[in-house]
Amino acid sequence: MQRQGADLTNMATTDFICDFSRREWDGKFPLVEGHQGALISGDCLTLAFGQVVLEEQTSLDPGYTCTMCLEERKDRCWQSPAYEDAIICLRCIRQGSTKLHKDPDWDWTKPTLQEPA
């Protein structure tokens, strides 16, 4: 999301905020953009990927609206534990993580399943 009241003609990095953790951007961590200014940080994407892709869990039943693509979705999703209006669908998790994984500007890789210790 963008900070409310931000000057749209002169955006600062801290005007960009992760919808899922409400963490302000400092330009030093990856941020993936969805529709209409929706944003998810690399850290939140890691959590979402782990829970939804690797563990095949879902936060909500089909019929929720994804914060990132704004569509009503039937696939699995991750809901922010802190902000319940922030939801990302499986498709957006996959798209976002593929994009970030390939992005040479960021040291972000798709999480993998770890053997239980």
Tally Cβ neighbours within 10 Å of residue 29: 13
Which residue is listed with tokens 């696939």? Answer: 75
Question: Interface with Zn ion includes 66 (CB under 5 A)?
Answer: yes
Residue numbers 96-115 binding Zn ion by CB under 5 A: none
- Binding-site size, Zn ion (CB under 5 A): 11
> Is 31 in contact with 79 (CB distance < 8 Å)?
no
Question: 89, 93, 96, 97: which one contacts Zn ion (CB under 5 A)?
Answer: 89
> Is 38 in contact with 67 (CB distance < 8 Å)?
yes
Question: 31, 32, 38, 44: which one contacts Zn ion (CB under 5 A)?
Answer: 44
Residue numbers 4-33 binding Zn ion by CB under 5 A: 18, 20-21, 23
Q: Backbone phi, then psi, for 87, in 5-degree steps?
A: -135, 135
Question: Interface with Zn ion includes 78 (CB under 5 A)?
Answer: no
**How many angstroms separate the CA atoms of 18 and 24, rounded?**
7
The residues binding Zn ion (CB under 5 A) are 18, 20-21, 23, 41, 44, 66, 68-69, 89, 92
